[in-house]
Amino acid sequence: MNQSKSRDTTPAKTPAATCLVLVLWGEELAAWQIAPGSAPRAVRLHGQERVNANSEQAIVAAFADAAERLRGDGTRLGKVHWLADAAGRRLWVDSLPLVQTLPDSPIWQLLAWEWLVERFGLNDAAPWTISDLLTRELLPWLVTADTATERHQMQDALAREHHSESARLAAERDRLQHDNERLRTQNAALQQVDAERLVSFLPALFPRVFTVLGATDLALLCGRLEPLPIPNPYPEPSVETLHTLQRNFRALPHERQREIVRFVAHLPQRQKLEPRPELRDLLHELEED
């Protein structure tokens, strides 16, 4: 008589969620995973114990690598704790929108490293200098919070700090944008370049240039009220001096070259100036740049 085998309908146990702790300090990032009942275990980022994290893109890439590594090991990621110093928090705020777009983005919290080491009486120690204490006490404490009241107070404090830091960074960005706009407006209005640089390099670019551009007109176009000290007539430089000036002009950063050439290109007198043959091609390229 055949006996049918009973089918086990007991649902498979879901593995307990693990916590991922990322420490961002001094533009360096390291990670640990903490599973219930187990000691913290370091998680390598891009194959390294610590990685450089001096931009929001680097932070996001490192976090994504850690999360993918845990998923590949069959680990269910529950919560993420970010521990960051002041510099790290500024980068972290910018990286947060990108972090939250990653698949299966878990619950997270941000802790100020300064607050944490003060709580443990460590006098602002760097995490890399207290690695034993970090893994033995600080990290386990994160996942075994003392009481529900303390957790609630911690969350309120972090929310206030996050709001304050976000407001400060937003105000700083607004100030920088205002300053940049003001400088752009001033530059557009004056259309000026450094007068001394012009006087130094124009003879290397155009022969007899100051017979076309007078000292007074040139000063006014550069935003100066006093005429430039250019002798009249201005002597043509010697061949050796001319070659030196042209070599120095070629050595200028591209933006400085472009600034000088574009300044002259917008003057009505430009059509009266014939570039020196040895720089003719470079000047035309800079004018069209």
Q: For 88-142, write each residue's pLDDT tens digit.
A: 888 888 887 777 776 666 778 888 998 888 888 877 778 888 888 888 888 888 7
pLDDT for res 255? 87
What SS3 class is residue 195? helix
pLDDT for 264-280, tens place per residue? 888 888 888 899 999 88
pLDDT of 162 > 80? The answer is: no
pLDDT for res 231? 79
Task: Classify strands 28-34 and 51-52 as parallel, antiparallel or unpaired.
Answer: antiparallel
pLDDT for res 100? 72
Length of the chain, please? 289
Highest mean pLDDT: which range of 30-34, 182-186, 234-238: 30-34
Closest by CA position to 62, among listed 79, 81, 77, 47: 47
Place of tokens 């007074």: 216
Please state the rounded mean pLDDT for residues 39-58.
90
Alpha-carbon Rg for the chain, nearest whole angstrom, is 32
Report CA 186 to chain centroid distance, whole Å: 26
Q: What are phi and psi of 261, to 5 degrees?
A: -70, -40
Of residues 178 and 50, more confidently modeled: 50
Torsion of CA 32, 35, 38, 39, to 10 degrees: 20
Distance separating alpha carbons of residues 83 and 128, to the nearest angstrom: 13
pLDDT for res 103? 64
Mean pLDDT over each residue of the chain, to the nearest integer: 79
Q: Could you tell me the fold of the domain covering 18-144?
A: Nucleotidyltransferase; domain 5 (3.30.420)
pLDDT for res 32? 92
Q: Give the pair of three-digit tokens for residue 195.
A: 């007068």
Q: What are phi and psi of 12, to 5 degrees?
A: -65, 140
pLDDT for res 200? 80
pLDDT for 205-229, tens place per residue? 999 888 888 878 777 777 776 777 7
Closest by CA position to 62, among listed 100, 90, 34, 99: 99
